[in-house]
Amino acid sequence: MTLNSATPAFVETLRAALPAATFREATPSYLEEPRGRWQGQAGVVLAPASVEQVSIILKAAHDAHVPVVPYGGGTGLVGGQIKPEGAAPILLSLERMTAVRACYSDENVLVVEAGAILEDIHAIAADHDRLFPMSIAAKGSARIGGCLATNAGGVNVLRYGNTRDLVLGLEVVLADGRIWNGLSRLRKDNTGYDLRNLMVGSEGTLGVITAAALKLAPIPAEQGTAVMVVPSPAAALKLLSLARSHMGEGVSAFELIHRQGMAFIAEHLPDLRLPFEDFPEWCVLIDVGLARGLDPAGALETLFADAAEQDLVSDGVIAQSEQQRRALWDMREQIPEGNRRVGSVSSHDISLPLSRMAEFIAEGWQALTDLADVRINCFGHLGDGNLHFNVFPTKGKTRDDYAHLRDAIKTCVHDLVASYGGSVSAEHGIGRLKVEDLEKYGDPVKLALMRQIKDSLDPHGIMNPGAVLRVGEPA
């Protein structure tokens, strides 16, 4: 299906149907993505204030065959929020749709519009003595609609699940402008196909999420955090098992950190306090939330003592105050910023079966260092099998010096991930960056079904064309 650009004449038809405040200048912030891989384009940038206005926009785009790129906070790392080539699209920003429609604290449900910033949702939940557990490094700018569209993960998946597990209902505008009012607050609704889970993770290719009913949770009465030094990733996995045998579902997060991440922070974010002067090769950050009357610091001390007897840990820091707890988390949350300032040659968001994680890290590390003189920063959500296995230039070089090796490095990692039964996209989505990877490593029947769903819900192919699925048949 041929798509048409959002021409000045088309934009004028929209001006007749929408308030003037809907129209935005196409500033660079809308057309760039965090890693600088692509430069986007837009025939017009629209920021509707209501689901009805979104419906008007999509119906007009559907009728005129004009592409639409939904835009949240612009924090996505796989290029799903920009369209670098082809027909100039409508860039549809949800930035004005930030309302809290309702909070049912007794039900542990918050209904918000898709433009609400994640950190603001955390604050709103806290005002009602509740927790919205999804947390990512970009929480200060990421919008919940984008988090839902990409099925974002984050640090608390181990205990609470990823974004898909935290949404009860959705309001979605389909490609032809119809509004699906699926804002259910029910935990059980066995009435046919699960359209909610179809839309979560669809990356704006099937419709535009405009509001969501989110699951809240009680704030753990007692919280604690520790960093423990482990001799290897294999030991870290044994420590995870031990921690869960000690505290069960009280373990909220279990993050693996390599010394390279600390070294990047020390070099580029020198004001950030780190827990060790001499960076250990491997350590884990453990966060726990326990019931009232229990002592998380004491529980972590008992865990450390038990683990030390088994030679699983050799050193550690247990937070004795909220300030210390926050400092430990600041270290983990600033690893991506340290990475950004160094500039990666190739970044990999991967997931693996837990039992094969340590073996993969060792084999992958050897394969990459055999391929090129590189530094590797391996970190991530060990508890749910999600690693960020990122490759950086050796000191004194830049990523441009490795441009001729970038494809070989990515292929090396992704081929190995596939051989271990893993996924080349754990929590960042497919976007435009990994379309070829999905075709190469994905199940062909699944891909055929995905395309059939896309063709059914978006027959003109206007919704974020080129993201997730290639425009036209695979090459």
pLDDT tens column, 113-148:
999 999 999 999 999 999 999 998 889 999 999 999
**Tokens 């935005």 belong to residue:** 24
Query: Which two three-digit tokens encode residue 82?
Result: 């920009």
pLDDT tens column, 78-87:
999 999 999 9
pLDDT tens column, 393-437:
999 999 999 999 999 999 999 999 999 999 999 999 999 999 999
Percent residues over pLDDT 70 in the chain:
99
Reduce the DSSP state of residue 287 to 3 states and report it.
strand
Q: How far apart are CA 53 and CA 35, in angstroms?
A: 31
DSSP H helical segments within 19-95, as ranges? 28-31, 51-64
Reduce the DSSP state of residue 458 to 3 states and report it.
coil
Residue 37 has pLDDT above 90, yes or no: no
Closest CA to 146 of 163, 126, 132: 163
Burial of 458 (0-12, 13-18, 19+ CB in 10 A): buried
Residue 475 has pLDDT above 80, yes or no: no
Closest CA to 254 of 244, 240, 242, 241: 240
pTM: 0.93
Q: How far apart are CA 109 and CA 445, in angstroms?
A: 36
Query: Which two three-digit tokens encode residue 11?
Result: 């934009």
pLDDT tens column, 269-309:
999 999 999 999 999 999 999 999 999 999 999 999 999 99
Query: Which two three-digit tokens encode residue 348?
Result: 């990999």
pLDDT tens column, 166-188:
999 999 999 999 999 999 999 99
Query: Which two three-digit tokens encode residue 16?
Result: 């007749």
Residue 474 has pLDDT above 60, yes or no: no
In the prediction, which pLDDT does 473 show? 54
Provide the Cα torsion 124, 106, 165, 192; round to 10°.
-130
Provide the Cα torsion 210, 215, 220, 224; round to 10°.
-50
Q: How far apart are CA 253 and CA 381, in angstroms?
A: 8
Is 206 within 8 Å of 178 (Cβ atoms)? Answer: no
Beta bridge partners of 318: 226
Helix (H) or strand (E) holding 414: helix 406-419
pLDDT tens column, 62-73:
999 999 999 999
Average pLDDT score, the chain: 95
Provide the Cα torsion 96, 99, 101, 104; round to 10°.
140
